[in-house]
A = this chain, B = another copy of it.
Amino acid sequence: MRPAPDPSSSMRTVTAGVDVGGTKIEIAVVDGEGTVLDSHREPTDAEQGPGRVLGDLTGSLRRDYLPDYPGLGAVGVGIAGQVDRRNGILRSSPNLKWTDVPIQSKLEDRLELPVAVGNDVDVATWGEWRHGAGRDVDHVLGVFVGTGLGTGAISGGRLVEGCRSSALEFGHVTLVEGGRDCTCPSRGCIEAYVGGWAIGKRAREAVEQDPDAGRAFLERAGSVDRITARHVDELFEQDHPLARRLVKETGRYLGAGLASMVNVFAPCVIVLGGGVIDGMPELIDLARSELENRPFEVYVENTELRRAELGEKAPVIGAAVMARDELLEI
């Protein structure tokens, strides 16, 4: 006979997850099964500086959550940028324009709770690994295509990290040497073809080159410079020829990028998520054929491409679950 479950055990595994992005902060309370019990979003005013933003954040947690969840045992933070997870320092964030912020110690002082800090895509990958599309394996590559293209890797049940920093900026691996401008110091990066910003830019260039073919884009957006990936998505739904071409090309570039990733990590599962994938899920099938023909055969046999399961909540869930896994004795 198994022992009766301890009624307090699920309370003991409740943690909070925080996702600090360039435009918004999301906070969630998550239970031991990775289920969100409570959450909200507030805008980030990154220009006010980390002191103010972290102050507001601790205020929200203390006011809105800690009283209702007295057993809440730890807080996990995912943040856009390079993070040294050993000491919880954000080393650099191009989005927030912050450098060397000791997030963990600042929050621990104010909250009197243990805090873990990681890169936002790393924690999202962690969430998909523990409670999402990669929960049955220990080698998971998370690939999230939103405005940019972010990746995280779990290898042998451990997050792959760099030297005094998070790592895994596979979006900034070269796909076309000397190719399209990127937002990073390099050129021809995978993100510069597949990221949401890049899809929008490629669409604007295509419409400029052939305004007749792009008339429907112009009608929707009002002007060339207002065309975004969302218009590609919407017109693809209506089987518009230019949108179809752009999506097909995007799928091929994405597949080529994934093939490179498979040759490096040979994961059991690639979890593919993010706003661009949610808007154009057809990209998954379009990418698959490149993925089947390019990497080493053993790797192709081992690797399954799956759609992410946690949706937009992946970073907050992942941050909370990372804090649970790393900081609580269960």
Query: Contact: B162 with A92, CB < 8 Å?
Result: no
Report the nearest B residue to A176, measured CB to CB.
B177
Per-residue CB contact flags for chain A residues 291-318 toward chain B (1 = under 8 Å, else 0) read 0011111110011000000000000000
Considering only residues 179-213 of chain A, those with a C-beta below 8 Å from chain B are 179, 184-186
Q: How many copies does the complex hold?
A: 2
Interface size bracket, A side: 35 or more
* Contacts A160-B155, A186-B294 given; does A172 touch B263 at CB 8 Å: yes
B165/A302 in contact, CB under 8 A: yes
Most buried by B among A137, A162, A177, A185: A162
Minimal Cβ-Cβ distance residue in B for A290 = B186
The verdict on A298 contacting B156 (CB below 8 Å), with A266-B162, A266-B167 known, is no
- With an 8 A cutoff between CB atoms, is A175 at the interface? yes
User: Which single residue of chain B is at the shortest CB-CB distance from A300?
Assistant: B185
Once bound together, how far apart are the Cα atoms of A87 and B270, in whole Å? 24
Query: What 8 A-B pairs come out closest when comparing CB atoms?
Result: A162-B266, A163-B268, A167-B266, A186-B294, A173-B260, A139-B163, A169-B263, A163-B302
